[in-house]
Structure formats: C-alpha cells, structure tokens
A and B are shown apart, each in its own frame.
Chain A
C-alpha cells in the first residue's frame, strides 16, 4: 500500500470530521442542508476509496447508497419540508457557537484518546477510520444536543449515522445486508421524523422543541 493511498484515505476521513464541524458552525438552514449533502458525498468518496483499497466491491454499493440517499434524496426532501414549513430563517442554538466548537474539539480529542489505544493491533486504516468515525458520531450527538430546531436535530442524527457507516466501512467483514438494512432504517427514520415535523408544526405552530418540553409540563 503506497503512502499516497493512505494519505487519500486520511484526507477523505478527515474531511468528514471537518464537515461535521461545519455542520456545527452553520447558522442558516439552507447552508446547513448543503453542508449535510457534502458530508454524505465525503462519506461516499471515503467508502468508495476503502472499497478500492480493500478490493471489496460490495462497499461500492454502500458508497452508492450513501450518495443517492443521503447526498441527494434526503437533503432535497428536507429542503422541500423547510420551504413548506417556512422555517428557513430560524436556527436556534442552545449553546452559542464558540463554546460548541471548543466542546467539539474536546470530543474529537476524546475519541482519539479512546480509539487509538484500543485498536493497537489493527492496521493503520482501521485505527484512523475508527478514531475519525467515533468523532463524527460524537459530533452528531453534540449537534443533536445543542440545537433546538427539529430539522437541525434530524441533520445531527443523519450525520451521526454517516459516522457509523464510516466505521463500518473501515472494519472488514461487515456484510452488505446489514449496511443496506441500516440505510433503509435511516430512510424510514427520516420519513417518520418528517411526519413528526408536520405534526409538531400543526400542534404548536413551531418546530422549536422547547414547545414540547412546555407541553409536557417541564420548565425549560
């Protein structure tokens, strides 16, 4: 395996971490959707590169699924939902962007500290991939925690799932059936969430999730 190959793998997986940070930074709805589409494209490239390196053709299908579903269909559908609901202006964050970024950096550090010692016997690809995938997952969680808007929480969830696929592509021997079922379950989750969005909107006239807390009788 030449150094260039591993450099490109590093580049693609690292760019996913970077795009996760961009997702955290965005405060406009459409820009957020665009960055999410880019995130999925980076995932597709990364998985395709793994497929080429590992000579594993089924990973190409995974890459294609990522590109089609998460790079095209879900962003387009989310954009239509956002336009329909007329919520393209509001992106409320719980914590302001600066501390969120610092917290994100800390999470990346944490995932590296956790992953690198655990995977000592593995090859460098697996180690890097797993460290980056864990940070993408944690950043997805962070995004879900720090956003009040339901649509951006959906995006946090989807980016988290991208991180899972990245981890799966690095670890050899993940069967295709599992990946396809994961992809479809995400799609179904997306549909359910979309229906919920409309329901929340119908009932509370907003997609701000604080309204749900109030309705449950909790004080925010």
Chain B
C-alpha cells in the first residue's frame, strides 16, 4: 500500500520535473526542422532559474489576485497532471479521483484564474487576451468533454485508469468513433496549449497572440511559475493522449520494479514521438487568423459530437 503511495508521489514529482524538458525538446526539434541549431534541451530550466532570480515587477494597481494567480494556476494544473496515468495506471491513492471530468474541471479553473489575472491590471492587451481565451474555451471545453464522453461510453467509466485498461484489453478496435475522438482531442490540445495554428508560443510581438497577451504584465518568479504551468499543461495533454490511445507498456498497479522501468521507458518514447509529430505539424502549417480559430475548434466539437452519434448507432444496432 505504501509502495503505491511512493510511486504516485514519484509520478507527481516527475510530471513537474520533466515538463520543462519536454518543452525544451519540442523547441529543439522545431529548430532542427527549420535548419537552425537551436538552444539546448535544458534551456527551459535555465530560463526558469533566471526568471526566479530576477526582480518581480508588479503594476501599481494590481490586486492580490494578480500575485496569487500564478501559484493557483500551477497548483491546479499540477494536480490535473498528477491525475493522468503516465508510466503506471491504477495507483490506489488517487485512483478514485483520477476522473477525466475532474481533469477538465481543474484545467477550466486554471484558465479562469489566468483570464482573471489578465484582466486584473487593466491593460488592453490583458483584456483582449482574456476575452479571446474565453471565446476559444467556450468551444474547446465542450469539444474536450464530447471526446471524453465518447471514450467513457466505450469503456463504461470516466476513470482514466479504467479507460486505459479497457483500451489495453478488449477495447482496441478499428472504430471510427475512436479515431474521431482522437482527432478532436488533438485539436483541443493544440488549441489549449497555444500551439501554432491557434497561437504562437514563441513570440510576444504578434497582435494575434492570446496566451502571451494575458501574461504580458508578469515578470520574475510569477512569470517563471506561469511558464512552468504552461509546460506542465503540454505534458498533461500529451500524456493523456498517450495513456488513452497508446496504452501499451504502461505498468499496472502492484507490478514489480521491472514493469515500472518498462512503463517509464515506454512513456518517454511515447512523449518524444508525440512531441515530434506535434512539431512536424506546427512547422508544416501557418498560423490562423484569430477569427478562423473558432471554426477550427468548432471542428473538434463537431467531431466529438459525430463520434458519440456514430458510437450510439453502433451500440443500438448490435
């Protein structure tokens, strides 16, 4: 019993520790695809350290919310990420809570806090970023929920560990609803992580920015915490897709140390592969106009709905 607790703790710590590495790897792959040398994969750690050491400048009219928001955002995102099975599933400690709807709700809380913080100082950039974020969220969240709904209709449960186990066992089949849910989830994760067709994570200078506009007033350790939360969020989405759609190699609870080691390696390979695919997609596509983004996310919502409907047909007619 205590053993499982240890694994769960390790998983929780690992998620936070590896998140900057993941964003470093994506930046490195992107640079290499653009035929640049690119910074080291450890650069995000150095950036975070630098930001933590720097002085924190806070606007005069900022309220307590502005100071508290970064920590709350990191906390909620981190808890959500800890709920996603990474290298091992079915850990008893958080299993009952590892509900995919809880994860969506936690991410929604983080988004709410971020939008409030963007509005708090009262600059026009923060306001425009917050309003756009909310516009996109109003489509991305239902899309995510529809994809989740499809998966849980398949597995008969909204718990991630049982969905993962179901997919590992009898559930993996050639099914169009699964494919649609996967595509919807990918579109939502691209939108939520402010990746390229929706938003550009690498610039502060574009008029169409969304995520960066909300955090424009942050500096020093607050900025470091927010950047860490963004990295954790990317890791969360990639792990979520990996654990549901490629469940192979994941260790089950109570397995030996060898199974955990295999699970760890499998997880690393899956994340690297997903990061590579994400970056290839990003370099192949141009950024959209802001007013095209709702259409893009609307596609995810439509795919999620369609997946549920097709699944319904398959279930009823059999």
Contact = CB atoms under 8 A, between A and B. Distances in A.
Q: For the complex, would chain B's binding face be called helix, strand, loop or mixed by DSSP majority? A: helix
Given A116-B317, A128-B314, A11 B309 contact: no
Contact of A128 (B179, B298, B305, B317): B317
A101 B175 contact: no
Contacts of B299: 25, 101
Contacts of A88: none
Interface string A112-131: 10001000000010011001
A101 B174 contact: no
Given A98-B295, A101-B298, A128-B317, A7 B173 contact: yes
A146 interface: no
A3 B171 CA distance: 12
Contacts of B318: 6, 124
A124 B317 contact: yes
Contact of B306 (A4, A17, A127, A131): A17
Contacts of A157: none
Contact of A15 (B176, B302, B305, B314): B176
A77 interface: no
B258 interface: no
Interface residues of B, number: 23
Contacts of B295: 97-98
A11 B175 contact: yes
Interface string B178-203: 01100000000000000000000000
A104 B295 CA distance: 15
A108 interface: yes
Q: For the complex, would chain A's binding face be called helix, strand, loop or mixed by DSSP majority? A: helix
A195 interface: no
A14 B176 contact: yes
A89 to B, nearest CB: 17
Given A4-B173, A14-B176, A98-B298, A116 B306 contact: no
Given A4-B174, A116-B317, 6 more contacts: A17-B306, A101-B298, A105-B305, A108-B309, A124-B317, A127-B313
Nearest 9 CB-CB pairs, A to B?
A14-B176, A127-B317, A124-B317, A11-B176, A7-B174, A14-B310, A101-B302, A128-B317, A7-B173
16 contacts: A4-B174, A7-B175, A10-B176, A10-B314, A11-B175, A11-B176, A18-B306, A21-B306, A25-B299, A97-B298, A101-B298, A105-B302, A116-B316, A116-B317, A127-B313, A128-B314
